Each structure stands twice: as structure tokens, then as C-alpha cells.
Amino acid sequence: MARLVMKFGGTSVADLDRIRNVAAHVKREVDAGHEVAVVVSAMAGKTNELVSLCRSASLLHDAREYDAVVASGEQVTSGLLAIVLQDMGVNARSWQGWQIPIKTDGAHGAARIDDIDGSLLIERISGQGQVAVIAGFQGIAPDNRISTLGRGGSDTSAVAVAAAIKADRCDIYTDVDGVYTTDPRIVPKARRLDKVSFEEMLEMASLGSKVLQVRSVELAMVHGVRTFVRSSFEDPNAVRVMPNGDPYGTLICDEDEIVEQQVVTGIAFSKDEAQISLRRVADKPGVAAAVFGPLAEANINVDMIVQNISQDGKFTDITFTVPLADYDRAISVVKSSDKFEYESLESATDVCKVSVIGMGMRSHAGVAAGAFKALAEKSINIRAITTSEIKISVLIDAAYTELAVRTLHSLYELDKV
């Protein structure tokens, strides 16, 4: 018998038929003798609808009232799933974030979880055998009002609840059957991974993989929550299993659990990037702080940074990338700053960041060189490069995205078992 947290996203609970399918998955685990807590998202499209209503009501709406409105999507889903489970004969009840409570900071609309008291949930799940159906994406702020965790926050809710109740595993049910070496829509031979380390998944999530929210992976890594990505669209009564008896999907776990570590695990990409270049900036101490300080104050995340070596000791060029959603604000911040001078500003939005990720890169030389050579042979120009111990990211023209991903996927033989 295990204690499980099962999380279902918007597409998995899109309508009553899908909710009944989810309930069948939950009942399967209950019948197997497991202690179960369920975290649900709003029905597919519902959060967008609620956000649109808030914006139509007032462009400058109160963030606290915004949270009160958009949190209702998950409340509806949790109540409906509890009703369906009860109709199936399963002892279940719904929980809202404030009832547990899931305590957050006061950043309404993008709150972070500070603490969860899991004692009452454990008492109900373990002591009474009751399934807890929890509304994801929400908690209670210090002002005693509903807070929401930002888009994709239900993943974070699920992992946080799993840590709070000391669950053996957190199962993330989604519309794919695991984590792949890259997007199968671009590389049909992309392979599903049986296991991925927390560090690799964190890089993949932050670099473009849409399977899990970045904050949820961070939480899982910090608290050691074994997280399992699996499909909710499989027949609940005919679940596929792997040769070792585990369910079919991808386990995200500590590196020590992975016996054979490949040099490269996956290729991620993100088209939500914009490049900004400042030409002939005065080359003197403090210029980087002068450029990036105002961007930080505006809460604009800067990723890749390239500063050319000054030839004459007087001027340099600085190139950096920002999220595409922050592009206009970043341009405005740079142009309005009086802390530095530059001769011209150049920018591009038709760019893509392609990343090579793998724990094995720590102990293998030549991974980066191989990638650069392979891209050069395909006449793909690299605009910027950034690296860490387990990843290499290159910025290229967006038109070459698919070619670059396929080239790198083949280079590291990721389509082979």
C-alpha cells in the first residue's frame, strides 16, 4: 500500500465524461489499497474564460478580486469530481486551498507557497480512508484572502501537497504518456524516457518543455518528491505497465536512481524569445549593472548575455535575450534609462533557443563542440550561447528551429534505445 497524490490537468477534466474517466483512475488506485489525494485543474479553457471576464470588467482590476474569480474554476472541478466519486461508492470530499490550509505569500496572481499543514489531510486519508479532492492553483494569503499560484500552478500544488503528506509518489496525469527526448511533433522518432533526474527535468521545463511547470520541479527536487508523468487518456482498467512492473510513463527522481546515465538526455526548444543588442556602449566598470539593473527592477528576466571584448578599450557591444512577452517592456526600459549610453539598438523576435540537456555532460568532453559543428554543417548561424554543467543553449533564427532540433537529436542518437 502506498500514499499517492494524483494530479489531473485541464484537458483531463475538460467535461463530465472526462471527469468520470478521472474518477475511474482514482477508484482503481483506491481499490488497490492505496491512500489517495487528488489535485485538479480547472476544465480546459475555463481559466482563460475567467481571466477574460476580469479584463473585460476592468483593465486595472484588483488582483485580490482577480484571484477570487479565477480560483473558482478549480473549485468547480474538485466539487464535480467528488460528486462522481461518491456516486461510484468512493468515500471522497472536496477541499479548497484555504481549508487545508495552503498558506502562500501575498503576491496575488503569482503567489508562492510558504507552508502546508498536512496533518488534517493525513488524518482523513489514512485514518478515515477518505479521498481528498483538492482544488489546485490556489491557497490563502496573509490577508486571509484566496490567492492563486500563476498559470500551471496546479502542478506546484500537487507536488507541495505530496511533500506535506509525505506521499510515496506524485502522479501527474496529462495528455501525453511521459517525457520525451524532444517534441514528437518535430521528431517522430523521439523516445519516451523511463527516468529523468530532477536536475535534467528542471532544465527541460525551464528551456521549453511544456510537460511540467518549472516551480513544481523545483519543489520536487528540494523535497525529494518522486514524480511520475503518465497519461490520463489510457483505459483506467487496462493500464500499461513496463517490464519492471511500473506503470507506463516517466519517473522524475534523484540521479542516484538512474543506473545508466546517457551523455545527453533530451533536446528542448523555446520560440518565446527576443534578442536585444546595444551597439557601442561605453566600456567601463559598472556598465553591465547599469544596463541590467533597470530590467531587474522591472521584473524582466534576462537569459543569454553576450558582451564583446572591447578592441579600443572605449566601446563594447552587449547582446541579451528576454521572454517574448516582455520584449516591448524591455525595449521601453532600455530606451528610457539614463544610466548608460549607446550608439544604436538592434532587436529581433524571430529567434529560437535550442538546448541540449544531460547529466552525462558533466563528465564527457566535446559535447558542445559536436553540437556547434553539426549546426555549422547545416549552415545554421548561432547568435548567442549559454552553458551550465548539464546544458548548452544556442540562440538561432526561428526558421531553422526544426532543422536544428532534428540535427541535434540525431547527433546524440536519442532515437536509439
Residue that terminates a domain, selected from 256, 288, 314: 256
| Cα three-residue angle 409-410-413, rounded to 5 degrees | 90
List of residues 6+ apart from 52 with CB closer than 8 A: none
Residue 397 shares a structural domain with residue 313? yes
Please provide residue 68's backbone torsions phi and psi, each rounded to the nearest 5 degrees. Answer: -60, -35
What domain range includes position 346?
266-411
Q: Assess if residue 96 is contained within a domain.
A: yes
> Is residue 174 annotated as involved in ligand binding?
yes
Q: Which residues contact 178 (CB under 8 A, 6 or more apart)?
A: 192, 193, 229, 230, 231, 248, 249, 250
Residues 377 and 309 in one domain: yes
Lowest-pLDDT range of 22-26, 102-106, 173-177, 401-405: 173-177
> Residue 135: pLDDT above 70?
yes
Mean pLDDT in residue range 241-253: 84
Domain boundary pick from 228, 256, 284: 256
* 8 marked as binding residue: yes
How many Å apart are CA 407 and CA 411, to the nearest integer? Answer: 6
**Do 282 and 134 share a structural domain?**
no
Distance CA 394, CA 408 (A): 12
172 shares a domain with 88: yes
218 and 273 together in one domain: no
User: How many separate domains does the chain show?
Assistant: 2
Is 127 inside a domain boundary? yes
61 and 183 part of one domain: yes
Report whether 7 belongs to an annotated binding site: yes
Q: For the segment 278-319, what is each residue's pLDDT rounded down to a tens digit?
A: 998 888 888 889 899 999 998 898 988 988 876 667 888 899
Whole-number pLDDT of residue 197: 94
Examine residue 234 and state whether it is found in any structural domain, yes or no: yes
pLDDT single digits (tens) 2-58: 999 999 999 999 999 999 999 999 999 999 999 999 999 999 999 999 999 999 999
Q: Does 387 show up as a binding residue in the annotation?
A: no
| pLDDT for residue 243 is more than 80 | no
* 149 lies in the same domain as 211: yes
Per-residue confidence (pLDDT) for residue 308, from 0 to 100? 80
Average predicted confidence (pLDDT) for the chain: 92
pLDDT, greater one: 206 or 407: 407
Residue 261 placed within a domain: no
Between strands 344-357 and 266-282, the pairing is: antiparallel
The answer to whether the pTM exceeds 0.85 is yes
Query: Per the annotation, does 185 bind a ligand?
Result: yes
Element (H, E) at 18: helix 16-31
What's the pLDDT tens digit per position in 43-89?
Answer: 999 999 999 999 999 988 999 999 999 999 999 999 999 999 999 99
State yes or no: 203 annotated in a binding site: no
pLDDT at 299: 86
Residue 92, SS3 per DSSP? strand
Label residue 313 left, alpha or beta by phi (over 0 means left) and psi (-120 to 50 means alpha). Answer: left
Q: Quickly tell me which residue has 517490464 as its cell.
A: 243
Residues in CB range of 84: below 8 A, 6 or more apart:
16, 19, 20, 23
In terms of domains, do 153 and 216 share one? yes
Whether 245 shows a pLDDT value over 80: the answer reads no
Amino acid symbol at 34: H
* Domain presence at residue 200: yes
Question: Has residue 416 been placed in a domain?
Answer: no
Structure confidence at residue 417 (pLDDT): 61
Question: Is residue 114's pLDDT more than 90?
Answer: yes
How many residues belong to the chain?
Answer: 417
148 has binding-site annotation? no
Q: Please state the φ and ψ torsions of residue 174, each to the nearest 5 degrees.
A: -145, -165
For residue 49, give the CATH number of its domain.
3.40.1160.10
Asked whether residue 139 falls in the same domain as residue 181, the answer is yes
pLDDT tens per residue across span 225-234: 999 999 998 8
C-alpha span between 179 and 414 (Å, rounded): 13
Domain shared by 207 and 299, yes or no: no
- Does 300 reside within a domain? yes
- Residue 234, marked binder: no
Beta bridge partners of 316: 281
Do 322 and 216 sit in the same domain of this protein? no
